[in-house]
Every structure is written in C-alpha cells, then in structure tokens.
Amino acid sequence: MKVLLLAHTEGDGSLGKAALEALGAAKSLGGELLIGLYGAEVQAAANSIAGCDAMKFFGVAGADFSTARYGSDAAACEALAKAAGAELIVMPATSRASRVAAGVAQRLGAAVDTRLTGLEVADSKVVATRWFYRQRMVGRIERDARPWLVTVDTGCFEACTAPGTASVEMLAATVTTRTQVTGIKAPAADAQTIRPDAKLLLVAGAGWGKSQPDGQKHLDEASQLILGLLSATQCSLGSSKSLVDQSGDGGALPFLTHMHQVGQTGSTPRHAKGLATCCHGEEPHVVGWRFINERRAVNLDASCGWAQGKADVLYVADAFAVANKVVELLK
C-alpha cells in the first residue's frame, strides 16, 4: 500500500506540529511512504523529515503557495496526489488543509474522512477512528474505496522528525484562481487566549458575571483575575455558553467570543488538565471536556454538576478568592 503524507509548510518554511503528527500517523501504517509538501519553499521542511524512510519526496513551491488560498492549495494538493498515486492520503487537520481536503478528494475521485483520531492497520485493513455527534459516539471506519483521503486531528499521534537532506522532485501546479491574498489580520500574540498546545484549560463560567454575596457584580475584577491567571500560567481560555452569550451582547467579559465556548455546541479541546471556575458543570458543557484528562472545578455550590462525578476534584469555594490567591502565589 502506498501512503502519501500531504502537508503544507508554515510561514517560516518549517513543518508544523500537526504536519509532523500526520507524518507519524502515515508512517505507523507501515506501507510505502511518500511525502508531498507545498508552500513558499519546501526544501527546509523536507530536510526536517529526510530520515523518515519515505520512498520519495514531491514538492510544489512558489509565491502562489505561500499562504492559504483555496484555488492554489487545491491545485498543489491535486498535483502532488496525482504524482504520488497513493491509495491512502493523510493530511493534518489544520484549518488550511481542512479547507481544501474535500475539494481535493473530489478532484481525485477519492473518498474522504476528516478529523480522524486514530488510524491503524488491523487484519490487513486500514481502520480509522473518529468521533461523531459532537464527540458523543466513537466510530471505527473501514473503506474499500481508493484513493482514500483522510485528515488527522492534532494531539492524537506521535510527531515524527528525522532531520537530514532530502531530494525533492518539484512539480508544477496550474493556479487558475482570481482570489488574491492581500494580507493577514490577526490578533496580537498576547490577545490570543485560545492556546491549543497549552497543558491547562481554564474555563470561565457565567458565575463570574453574577451578583456576588455583597449583592454587586464585579466584572472588572473578574476580568483582571481571569487574565491574570492566563498570563501567569499561559493556559488556554475556554468558557461556557451562558457566559459567551452574555459577552456577545456586550454585557460581561469583553475578551470572550463564541470561539471560546466549550461544549456540545462549542469546541472539544485537548489539554492535560482543566480547571472550571464559576461554571455549573451541566452535561451540554461537560461533554466538551471529553479529552481533558484531569478535571478540577471551583464552585460555591457543593451540589453543582462537577460534584456529580464530572470532576476529579471540586473546590467548594469562592472563585474570586481562589483566583486571587493563586495569581499571588504564582507571582
């Protein structure tokens, strides 16, 4: 079986963690490994994995492929996949690759499955694992259709790096798109509070915006404490639906958006540890914690959802006081 790792380079010409993990997934299948890379430059990226035992490296490079753009990325992927002629094509589930995966599969006449969390050979068949219905059900998939293009989620496979010098066969890809990338608008690095690679997830719930025992709301203090914890621990920030809905209406904490919402209708992040604060721990929220290994919560209510077997440790305490003390100790 021929297996192609199909990945884009990052802005600095390297391969990102997601691409290295996708390589780990492709390599673990034990077939004939081929590599297809696209980006402004691909040689440095190919060199970083030169010793991965691939039979061949293919590349599509140039200014046209420096940033994410559907037309050029799809053309590059199509050219690389056709040259490789692999039965199985493995891509990282980055936003850039995910955007073109289905379209590339269509161009190749391939079957496609996205966001796999497992990929293995069992009884000589490739078996993929992914979650359905907002991570409530896990499914194992086999397909007879070939080629089969898959994207693999981050945090599920061992990253593979093997530096050396790779010989890359460069291919041409015809770009016909009229779309031009004129620039990228991104928040400042310290304004970015969603950090998928952080060890700890801090969840802020609606309690932060509620009247406290003195009968008053303390939104400014809540903001300072949450941002203080973030800055002291470099953790990732998540929130509950109730709080992001209020923040969207301009009522609560201005740095929260719907991107922060964890849960059934939000995200399902992966972190080693999680700390929920002022969040009740309702099932539609906690289902988003499926991939958080160690869970703790701070809540004034000793019979909140976290106490019903949903957290490893529940601190029945005032989150304002706890956060204050923790930030002080970390300083």
Ligand X SMILES: Cc1cc2nc3c(=O)[nH]c(=O)nc-3n(C[C@H](O)[C@H](O)[C@H](O)COP(=O)(O)OP(=O)(O)OC[C@H]3O[C@@H](n4cnc5c(N)ncnc54)[C@H](O)[C@@H]3O)c2cc1C
**Residue among 136 and 199 whose Cβ is closer to ligand X:** 136
Q: Which is nearer to ligand X, 230 or 262 (CB)?
A: 262
Closest distance of CB 249 from ligand X, Å:
15
Footprint (CB under 6 A) of ligand X, residues 56-95: none
Residue 319, interface with ligand X (CB under 6 A)? yes
59 vs 266 by CB, closer to ligand X? 266
Q: Identify which range of 31-39, 112-120, 154-162, 297-305 contacts ligand X by CB under 6 A.
A: 297-305
Near ligand X by CB under 6 A: residue from 96, 241, 271, 310: 241
- Which residue, 150 or 304, has its beta carbon nearer to ligand X? 304
- Closest CB to ligand X among residues 241, 270: 241
Q: How many CB atoms lie within 10 A of CB 162?
A: 16
| Residue 249, both tokens | 């209406």
Contact window for ligand X (CB under 6 A) among 28-36, 119-127, 152-160, 315-323: 315-323
- Closest approach, Cβ 128 to ligand X, in A, equals 26
248 binds ligand X, rule: CB under 6 A: no
Tell which one of 47, 98, 212, 268 touches ligand X (CB under 6 A). 212
* Distance of alpha carbon 241 from alpha carbon 245, whole angstroms: 6
Residue 247 in contact with ligand X, rule: CB under 6 A: no
Q: Give the interface segment with ligand X, choosing from 27-35, 79-87, 119-127, 240-248 (CB under 6 A).
A: 240-248
User: How many residues bind to ligand X according to rule CB under 6 A?
Assistant: 30
Residues 309 and 207: beta-carbon distance below 8 Å: no
Draw the binding track, 270-289, toward ligand X (x: CB under 6 A; -: no contact).
Answer: --------xxx-x-xx--x-
Among 46, 298, 314, 326, binds ligand X (CB under 6 A): 298
Which stretches of the chain bind ligand X, using CB under 6 A? 205-207, 210, 212, 240-243, 261-266, 278-280, 282, 284-285, 288, 298-301, 304, 318-320
